[in-house]
Amino acid sequence: MSELHKFLFDGLPVRGMIVRLTDAWTDILQRRASNTTTGAYAPPVQELLGEMAAAGVLMQSNIKFSGALVLQVFGDGPVKVAVVEVQSDLSLRATATVNGVVPEGARLSQMVNVGGGGRCAITLDPQNRHPGQQPYQGVVPLHGDHHEKLERLSDVLQHYMLQSEQLDTVLVLAANDKVAAGLLIQRMPLKGEGNLAQGLSHRENEDQIGQNEDYNRIAHLASSLTRDELLTLDVDTILRRLFWEEKLIRFEPQQGENGPRFACTCSRERVSNMLRGLGEEEAQSILAERKDIEVGCEYCGQQYRFDAVDVAQLFVSSAASQPPGPSGVQ
């Protein structure tokens, strides 16, 4: 079961989180793999999208925000765009648009940032927008301060959070075809709350960047966590190995209905309504060209198929739901 664990370092200005996506992640991959048009993601794309999913959950959980956090990476490589959407209740979905072959072992620059113009965007879309209110969005390039290409998503996001919150952050991310996981360690703000939605610069927080010895010590320990350890060890073992000398205050894990889980807004009912909107004549003309009507969700890859019997039922039920007309000519 997918799970999110939050903790504090007692008496120190440092907080942390660990997320492990298991069923939520394999649900995403299975839908994509079962799509006869696209097929499964190549392993490097799986790894990138899984790291994005883990990071999206960590970042959504780190802010007080009612709405969707959308993490996107896009550029001019074979992976045109990769997107993860995490709602405030931690339901999530993810997708990637791939045009071309992604070679085995491809890194971030080879997949997305071939020409150096790749970008990472984080959008916060409020659940109930006020009139005229626009989503908050921050965008950073996929390169460092010296224009060197960044090869790890964690480096890109650490740079982003340092710019947006003025808070030191360490991210360790890993994913394979079974698990997508992440560890976040962050120095807590001295005044106010670091919040992606605000985009505010607190001078007191900015002046503390890299200066807090407690954070630096804990960040060094967190950075020693390997990819294999993050993917294979349970949360208790990870925390014990990394921070056995620290006193942790741990919160109740978020699992099941209260934790990270896959959810997409597509459904057979929504596709049925779309086909009714096309009209029976158009639907029948599509059937005349092929044996069935196939509609795939562009986000999760789920395919919905309707044969001639299904289509007939759609319009019979639609006609039956209409109120009776007048009995005579008027």
User: Which among 174, 145, 140 has a CA at the least distance from the CA of 157?
Assistant: 140
Instruction: Specify the pairing of strand 91-98 against strand 261-262.
Output: parallel
- Which of 50 and 190 is assigned the larger pLDDT? 50
User: Which among 95, 56, 57 has a CA at the least distance from the CA of 79?
Assistant: 95
pTM of the model as a whole: 0.84
pLDDT of 176 over the 60 cut: yes
pLDDT of residue 303: 83
Instruction: Specify the pairing of strand 14-21 against strand 180-187.
Output: antiparallel
- Which of 209 and 27 is assigned the larger pLDDT? 27
Does residue 195 contact residue 155 with C-beta atoms inside 8 Å?
A: no
- 322 Cβ partners below 8 Å, 6+ apart? none
3-state helix, strand, coil in the chain (%, to 5): 35, 25, 40
User: Which among 243, 255, 176, 204 has a CA at the least distance from the CA of 1?
Assistant: 255
Query: Can you read off the two tokens belonging to residue 11?
Result: 């008496």
- Residues pairing with 180 in the sheet: 21, 175
Residue 266 to residue 277: CA distance in whole angstroms:
16
pLDDT of 19 over the 80 cut: yes
Does residue 174 contact residue 7 with C-beta atoms inside 8 Å?
A: no
pLDDT tens for residues 113-143? 888 889 999 999 888 777 777 788 888 899 8
Angle at Cα 97 formed by Cα 92 and Cα 100, nearest 5°?
150
- Which of 222 and 196 is assigned the larger pLDDT? 222
- 327 Cβ partners below 8 Å, 6+ apart? none
- 299 Cβ partners below 8 Å, 6+ apart? 83, 85, 93, 95, 264, 265, 266
pLDDT of 284 over the 50 cut: yes
Does residue 1 contact residue 255 with C-beta atoms inside 8 Å?
A: yes
Does residue 293 contact residue 311 with C-beta atoms inside 8 Å?
A: yes
Confidence category of residue 304, pLDDT binned at 50, 70, 90: confident
- Residues pairing with 255 in the sheet: 3
H helices within the chain, ranges in order?
Answer: 23-33, 43-61, 108-111, 153-165, 203-207, 213-223, 227-232, 235-242, 268-278, 280-289, 308-320
Query: Can you read off the two tokens belonging to residue 207?
Result: 């002046």
- Count CB neighbours of 302 within 10 A: 18
- Count CB neighbours of 227 within 10 A: 14
pLDDT tens for residues 89-112? 999 999 999 998 899 999 999 999
